Structure 1
Amino acid sequence: MPQLSTIVIILLACATKLNANNSNDEGSLKSKIETNNEKIRLLEHQIAITDKEINITKSFEEMIAVIAALRPEMLKTYPTYCLPDGKSAGTHSIHLSDKTIEVICDADTARPGWIIIQRRINDDVNFDRSMDEYKDGFGNLENSFFIGLRNLYALLSIQQHELFIALESLSGETRYARYNNFQIANENARFKLLSLGEYEGTTSDGLRDSLGKNFIAYDSNKGTEEKTTSNGWWIDEGLNGIGSNLNAISSQWNTWPVGFKSVKMMIRPIMQTNRSCEAKEEPKKVQNIATKVCNWFGL
């Protein structure tokens, strides 16, 4: 493409010179020169954009090829990395010791490798569900859904995971909350929120009030007439933790914003970057590949 740019500019320059030699009208000559100069500037701009698009495409294709080559080995070490075969996002099967879970992968929100565990993008799916439904999961992976507490526990119990919460307001503003050690207890312990780790983000640390709380839904306290909450979340009987209830009739995250256009919760195993990204003893080519992979994953 740089060669093409040079050729185009030379040709236009020659055309300008010819026009100058064949014209006796000085005003017309200046006009033609200005017109050709403007064409040169436009072509340079278009060529630069094309070059950038080609480089982005090549970079993406190169990453897909690298991930495809490394995928089998990566999944041996990180079985819950969301890496669809030959794709960067879409449906994927996670093979656990006693079952296989179909999940949806996200590579656009916070780079590749994420499993979406909860998503609300419209009101087609009702989140006012029983505890049994929250245990098993509900909805459609391509639409709004909840992955299910049993599946979530099975995924998190394999190794350390981080949690990413993506929020979009009705006005289109996006913010996020990220926690580097997301853990919940098993079913016997009522899927208590055991750990969040450190917080990072552009919204508030809203989930912190739910730490140490059991996951409860409207029928968690069977035998009582009062509903503790209308939608399942990590909340106690005093409603502590309700401020971050993304499953509520209207999703909440403290006081921001008044309403949501979409919410999404995702998990990804923590990659041991000192082992996976630092190929100090390997050839330079291997080091470059390792660096590219880790940059692509945002590590």
Structure 2
Amino acid sequence: MPQLSTIVIILLACATKLNANNSNDEGSLESFETSKSGFADYQSEIETKIRLLEHEIAIKDKEINITKSFEEMIAVIAALRPEMLKTYPTYCLPDGKSAGTHSIQLSDKTIEVICDADTARHGWIIIQRRINDDVNFDRSMDEYKDGFGNLENSFFIGLRNLYALLSVQQHELFIALESLSNGTRYARYNNFQIANENARFKLLSLGDYEGTTRDGLRDSLGKNFIAYDSSKRTDEKTTSNGWWIDEGLNGIGSNLNAISSQWNTWPVVFKSVKMMIRPIMKTNRSCEAKEEPKKGQDIMTRVYNWFKL
């Protein structure tokens, strides 16, 4: 690009000189003075055009360099994806492979997870899904701790795995609900936290709520995750499906693991339910489309915006 700018400037200067020589050869002193005045105006105009051209060339050169750097950055991030997943294990990176099954390394094991890029844009990992009755959610507490079901169908990720994922950093929770009449609603919380196994996976935090259905999970805040365990006959006998409730059944109104999933009576019967988590990068929690980067925008700003989704 700098070479192109130099060539353009030289050609314009040569054209200007040639025009001046032709004017000198054509005539009288009066003609020369007139030509001299016109030449000054013409020279000023040319200089202005040259400056504008140099400016445009500089902008184009910068845009090309930024695009090239951005593409190189994406390639580097894709190459480092396995290591980044160890640091941010629930972050389903938007590298063209964010949807589908991925292996995630936890502190003590590797697990398979499903990344979702369609429901609320990129970056979500599904922790619970019910799309038919093929998988029974009437399980013991041990089964709820370890997880059950089929990742391609209905499943629960397991409380031990969920705690390991959430303990890395702050996460948001997205709950997608679909009625039998294909109506859809959602609930979203920006600080989803649970306690460890010794504290019975208590629901510690939800953060702020937003959505198109009721704030159904709020009644479960501060409750332990319990399920009826027929083999141990413990005091955990209040429900046959695991959820964050107490012995008085407070919180059961949002039990998506119940025999018939429920969310404060809307709807009475669900066609499908889905719970997803996503780490909050730079305290961002917006799922709306981002603006396109402006021309000449700093490369690190573009990468930051790309990560925010």
* Cα drift, residue 47 of structure 1: 32
| In 2: Cα distance, 1:219 partner to 1:101 partner | 25
* Cα drift, residue 67 of structure 1: 6.6
Decide whether aligned partners of structure 1 residues 47 and 203 sit closer, same or farther in structure 2, where only a CA change above 3 A counts.
farther
Deviates more, 1:23-32 or 1:211-220: 23-32
Match of 2:79 in 1: 69
SS in structure 2 of the partner of residue 284 of structure 1: coil
Decide whether aligned partners of structure 1 residues 165 and 7 sit closer, same or farther in structure 2, where only a CA change above 3 A counts.
farther
Decide whether aligned partners of structure 1 residues 87 and 263 sit closer, same or farther in structure 2, where only a CA change above 3 A counts.
same
SS in structure 2 of the partner of residue 84 of structure 1: coil
| In 1: Cα distance, 2:200 partner to 2:112 partner | 23
Residue deviations 1:132-173, cap 9 Å, x none?
A: 100000000010000000000111111111110000111111
| In 1: Cα distance, 2:244 partner to 2:28 partner | 76
Decide whether aligned partners of structure 1 residues 41 and 97 sit closer, same or farther in structure 2, where only a CA change above 3 A counts.
same
SS in structure 1 of the partner of residue 204 of structure 2: strand
SS in structure 2 of the partner of residue 167 of structure 1: strand
Structure 1: state its 5+ residue gaps: none
* Cα drift, residue 230 of structure 1: 1.4
Decide whether aligned partners of structure 1 residues 266 and 274 sit closer, same or farther in structure 2, where only a CA change above 3 A counts.
closer
Residue deviations 1:21-40, cap 9 Å, x none?
A: 999999999999999xxx99
* Cα drift, residue 122 of structure 1: 0.4
Equivalenced residues, count = 296
Residues 89, 165 of structure 2: 8 Å contact kept: no
Decide whether aligned partners of structure 1 residues 282 and 140 sit closer, same or farther in structure 2, where only a CA change above 3 A counts.
closer
RMSD over equivalenced CA pairs, Å: 11.1
Residue deviations 1:177-227, cap 9 Å, x none?
A: 111111111111111101111111111110000001010011289446994
Aligned identity (percent) is: 93
| In 2: Cα distance, 1:69 partner to 1:252 partner | 42
Decide whether aligned partners of structure 1 residues 118 and 276 sit closer, same or farther in structure 2, where only a CA change above 3 A counts.
closer
Residue deviations 1:66-104, cap 9 Å, x none?
A: 973774685465332023875120011111222112101
Residue deviations 1:271-295, cap 9 Å, x none?
A: 0168999999999778476666666
Residues 121, 287 of structure 2: 8 Å contact kept: no
Deviates more, 1:132-141 or 1:97-106: 97-106
Residues 176, 274 of structure 2: 8 Å contact kept: yes
* Cα drift, residue 52 of structure 1: 27
Decide whether aligned partners of structure 1 residues 18 and 297 sit closer, same or farther in structure 2, where only a CA change above 3 A counts.
same
Match among 84, 95, 98 for residue 108 of structure 2: 98
Residues 83, 92 of structure 1: 8 Å contact kept: no
Match of 1:31 in 2: 44
Residues 89, 106 of structure 1: 8 Å contact kept: yes
Larger-gyration structure (1/2): 2
Deviates more, 1:185-194 or 1:83-92: 83-92
Residue deviations 1:89-123, cap 9 Å, x none?
A: 00111112221121010000011111100000000
Residues 227, 236 of structure 2: 8 Å contact kept: no
Residue deviations 1:238-296, cap 9 Å, x none?
A: 00000000000100000211111100000111101689999999997784766666666
Deviates more, 1:7-16 or 1:126-135: 7-16
Residues 16, 32 of structure 1: 8 Å contact kept: no
Residues 166, 174 of structure 1: 8 Å contact kept: yes
TM-score (norm 1): 0.69
| In 2: Cα distance, 1:17 partner to 1:171 partner | 79
Decide whether aligned partners of structure 1 residues 43 and 170 sit closer, same or farther in structure 2, where only a CA change above 3 A counts.
farther
| In 2: Cα distance, 1:26 partner to 1:261 partner | 90
Decide whether aligned partners of structure 1 residues 32 and 184 sit closer, same or farther in structure 2, where only a CA change above 3 A counts.
same
Residues 230, 248 of structure 1: 8 Å contact kept: yes
Residues 147, 157 of structure 2: 8 Å contact kept: yes
| In 2: Cα distance, 1:26 partner to 1:230 partner | 106
Residues 215, 233 of structure 1: 8 Å contact kept: yes
